[in-house]
Chain A
């Protein structure tokens, strides 16, 4: 009943600290307690994964970090900044330090690749020449320099997500949030996007928090992870530890399903 707390105590003071985070949605006369008190500490430079089944509250959790969703209760702080205390104006400023990428990419169709990447710089009031230089730099990083003048409508899913990553990195953020960023991509593209995230984490010392329902994604790039179930963290720790010795029911179930598909055998399809 009581959620498992700090299964593995973190030796460092967390860079991102979330405590007692609660969020309730109340559409009309209904009430959904999506987050029921989440505590997390994430170190600088970590690649932190949050897994959970649909409806566990993953998306809400990650979107509370840059306050795309306003938490009802609890605190979130990054370094010395208490995110939950920022005024609207301060938040607009601070959001430039937190990039986010989405499952549906959410690129602007009206703008070219370069235009999409320059958008965050434009709204930050950056000078034109500086913006242009930065855009090329970032496009180079995500390996899309040759597509600068293309429109999103001309790109594949993987390329679109690279543009999404470029846009998220334009303002040199400290943190990159990934909201199911690879869930709409095929396995090969997923791999290349994950490789890109991995290299960004190493090159830029960027802290990455990603949510996913795919264990393979966690296994491939995360250092630490948490398991979210029904609005609570039921397990957290180094990825390898959780995979090798899962303590919570949800983690066990996840691993069972993950292993299961291989063990379930073949469908009887020969007759077709």
Chain B
């Protein structure tokens, strides 16, 4: 069932359609909330709040075929509201030193890559270390794979600005990842 029909059924009060919509998008919304809040627990609370907002505003979605982008917009707004309430920036949690060293294998070359299990872990850590603007750019463009036009509408920015933000953000991310997988001082000393 495509998003447009699903939306239409939800608007008519079809509870099964609503359940389907929640199941379809909950993982994406949780991912967005986690990226903004940096906390699993807060992400779950925000995600619930997102779906309550979506339920209340279902009839305000003007382009149901682009339901995903609309929902992400609501998720973003809910996250920003949450952060405003928390009166803090998205936390750039510093890793404890020992955790850093477990990620940094002394014998590992940057081009050797990291195994599948660690990939997500390293990426999530790296995302939390980015500046808020870069984190948002990577999240929307490269993780949620929104179009530049959707991003420009969501962020209320010209497309050129969005494009250059994305470009800078990727390099910033690559540098942070390089820092995370680079050998630690102990490894250097052992050589």
Asked if A pairs with B, the answer is no
